[in-house]
Structure 1
Amino acid sequence: MGGLSPIHWLVVALVVLVVFGGRGKLSGLMGDAGKGIRAFRDGIKDAGNGAAPASDTPAAKVESSKEESKG
């Protein structure tokens, strides 16, 4: 009753391979999350120092494309 059959072990191994195997999908995801947290902390630190917020390049592109469509 307490043991696992070979089929159960196969399923567990398959899940482990999907989560941790291959190209490091899980580690890549955690790395991206870490970069996001680090960027958030840097943004909070800059805002606390009274620094001017950085201008967003995509917003500038949107504004310029609106001007082009009007003319």
Structure 2
Amino acid sequence: MGSFSIWHWLIVLVVVLLLFGRGKIPELMGDMAKGIKSFKKGMSDEDAEEAKAAADAKTVEHRADETMAAREKASKS
């Protein structure tokens, strides 16, 4: 009762083929594959945009001790 025999699976296969037809199942699988490819492409595009934004962002480091030393040199000269 816990597992299905080969006859159960054959009957299920026949019912599925009768409901969807021979051509509909490959069409559904093709649509599913296109959806997965589109999802993966969208995820990689999003990662590329984030990496580009991080590379474009420039930070300025402020070091107070260097600024003070430069001012003191300028005032002494």
TM-score (norm 1): 0.48
Would you tell me which structure has more helix in proportion to its own residues?
2
TM-score (norm 2): 0.45
Structure showing greater radius of gyration is 2
